[in-house]
Amino acid sequence: MQKLFIPFLLFISIKCYAQDSLQNLNFNRNHIKNTGMQVLGAWATANIVTGGIGWAVTSGKIKYFHQINALWNVANLGVAILGYANTIKDKDRIYTDQESLQEQNKLEKIFLVNGGLDLIYIGMGAYLVHRGNMNNSDQSKGYGSGIIMQGAFLLLFDTIMYTSEIHTGNKLRNFLLKNPVTFDGKKVGIVINL
């Protein structure tokens, strides 16, 4: 009986070490998301302040440019605050293999979809600028220019976040392929790839 028990304990201890690696991958994913939300929050805050000041002291298309930047970034700041709060809440969360993979896939899809939306924003801004030029509308030109700038920033942001998350996701998927059996201190799990 003891001869069987010792290899079993060794097996579990090896998998406990592997679980720590899984938690490190989860920590890295959360850290990337946390840093991203801080960057988005800083961008939003800077745009709200400069947009608010510019809105108050300028006129014409420049006024509308600042106005849309200030208003747009109220939404960005809300997203950043909610995202940051979630990273703080999830900081010490222990994920199972399946939960880790689901969370990773969800984040990758979010940033990929956001990248597509960013292209739509840029196109919408270009349309507004064109329309403003055709109708000699300072509001359309200013809003269009502001939306192009915000879309371009968000496209850069989402591309960097997506690339970072894909890198972390590939590490996670490779880890799960190499460690199909894990132990979290309470239960043993097996990952089966379909």
Residues found in the chain: 194
Strand spans (E) along the chain: 181-183, 188-190
Euclidean distance between CA atoms 159 and 134, whole angstroms = 33
Which amino acid belongs to residue 115? Answer: G
Which domain range does residue 185 map to?
Answer: 25-190
Q: What pLDDT, on the 0 to 100 scale, is given for residue 194? A: 53
Euclidean distance between CA atoms 155 and 99, whole angstroms = 28
The tally of domains found in the chain comes to: 1
* Residue 126 in domain: yes
* Residue 3 in domain: no
Q: What pLDDT, on the 0 to 100 scale, is given for residue 127? A: 98
Token pair belonging to 53? 């000041």
**CA neighbor of 32 nearest in space, from 106, 114, 100, 107:** 107
Q: What pLDDT, on the 0 to 100 scale, is given for residue 75? A: 97
Q: What pLDDT, on the 0 to 100 scale, is given for residue 96? A: 86
Q: Report if pTM > 0.85.
A: no
- pLDDT means per 10 residues, the chain with 194 residues, are 48 45 90 96 98 97 98 97 95 88 94 97 98 97 98 98 94 85 54 51
Q: What pLDDT, on the 0 to 100 scale, is given for residue 167? A: 94
* Residue 94 in domain: yes
Q: What pLDDT, on the 0 to 100 scale, is given for residue 187? A: 53
Name, in order, each residue with C-beta under 8 angstroms of 130's C-beta and a sequence gap of 6 or more: 144
* Residue 6 in domain: no
Euclidean distance between CA atoms 68 and 47, whole angstroms = 10
